[in-house]
Amino acid sequence: MRERIARLKRTLEKAELDWQVQRKSAREMFSVALVGYTNAGKSTLMNALTRAGVGAGDRLFETVDTTTRSWEPEPGARVLLSDTVGFIRRLPHNLVASFHATLGEVREADLLLHVVDASRPDYEEAIEVVEGVLEEIDASDRPTILVLNKIDALGDDPGPARAGRERPDAVAISAVTGAGLDVLARTVLAVCAERELRAEVMVPFAASRVLSALYEHGRVEHRVDEADGVRVIVRIAPDWLARITAGAVGVRWEPARAG
């Protein structure tokens, strides 16, 4: 057991360093983090959404380091999706500090998907444990969507349906069968849209890199090729728009009119 704890501590320390590097390179993208009690199906959901190939075995600490991948809830809309270590009750004292250190992605995420194994009898207790850990690591203020997973294994159990009624933001899914994943994608996009700016940008032909960056980091809704450049209407994070257009010669933008 001591050797197991030592290995986990080393892995957690490496995960924290990896997270810091990832965060520096993608700080401006809309980020979504999967959180949940251990074996809630977070890694299976991560694989279903991004084909990340994350290990999804039914074992404590199967996922220790944070895996981050690009996810397109719809074509042209990209967010960063992170799979994190499963929460548990009464975490061993020797692992507490290292465990919390890996959860920087959770503290800084724009949105949390709280994945719940809706088929387990004590799913409400699991929800309370996760919410308690989020409070401990100062992440309880993050916008959160409750994701009721494993609905394919529910049968006639009314419990998760009650939870859905009590929490209007809850989304019922099966990461295994794919049921409800389209609803989850639309729900995430709705939250993402609240943080986006809809802008009309005029890009001269000489500033082709700006146009490429708008496609990469935003959602181009409309494009018109004109005599002196390309005019696009794009939904994009304000920080990214400022970063892309800063210093670009001839690029002009203004908030797009409705319609």
85-97 pLDDT, tens digit per residue, is 777 665 554 455 5
Residue for token digits 């004109």?
226
Flag the least confident range among 135-139, 140-144, 152-156, 243-247.
152-156
What is 52-85 written as a DSSP string?
Answer: ------SSTTS--SPEEEEEEEETTEEEEEEE-P
Query: 147 - beta bridge partners?
Result: 115, 171
- From 247, 234, 231, 202, select the one nearest 78 (Cα to Cα): 234
Which domains does the chain carry? 2-193 (3.40.50.300), 197-255 (3.30.70.240)
pTM of model > 0.75? no
Residue 101, token pair as written in the block = 């250190």
pLDDT band at residue 171 under the 50/70/90 scheme: very high
Alpha-carbon distance of 119 to 113, in angstroms, equals 18
The stretch 253-257 carries a mean pLDDT of 87
**Do β-strands 31-36 and 111-117 pair in parallel, antiparallel, or remain unpaired?**
parallel
pLDDT at 231 over 60: yes
What pLDDT score was predicted for residue 27?
Answer: 47
Greater confidence (110 vs 23) lies with: 110
pLDDT at 203 over 90: yes
The stretch 44-67 carries a mean pLDDT of 68
Tell me whether residue 228 is exposed, middle or buried, using C-beta atoms within 10 angstroms of its C-beta: 0 to 12, 13 to 18, 19 or more: exposed
pLDDT band at residue 219 under the 50/70/90 scheme: confident
pLDDT band at residue 206 under the 50/70/90 scheme: very high
What pLDDT score was predicted for residue 60?
Answer: 46
Give the pLDDT confidence of 69-89 residue by residue, as tens digits: 889 998 877 888 988 777 766
Which residues, including other chains, have CB under 8 Å from residue 33's CB and lie 6 or more apart?
Answer: 81, 82, 84, 105, 106, 109, 111, 112, 113
Greater confidence (45 vs 154) lies with: 45
pLDDT at 208 over 50: yes
Task: Give CA 223 to chain center in angstroms.
Answer: 28
DSSP reduced 3-state for 41: coil
pLDDT band at residue 44 under the 50/70/90 scheme: very high
Alpha-carbon distance of 8 to 33, in angstroms, equals 21
Amino acid found at 211: L
Alpha carbon separation from 244 to 47, 96, 160, 214 (Å, rounded)? 31, 40, 44, 8
- From 22, 33, 23, 5, select the one nearest 188 (Cα to Cα): 33
Q: Please, what is the average pLDDT of the chain? A: 80
pLDDT at 168 over 90: no
Element (H, E) at 235: strand 229-236
DSSP state, residue 151: G
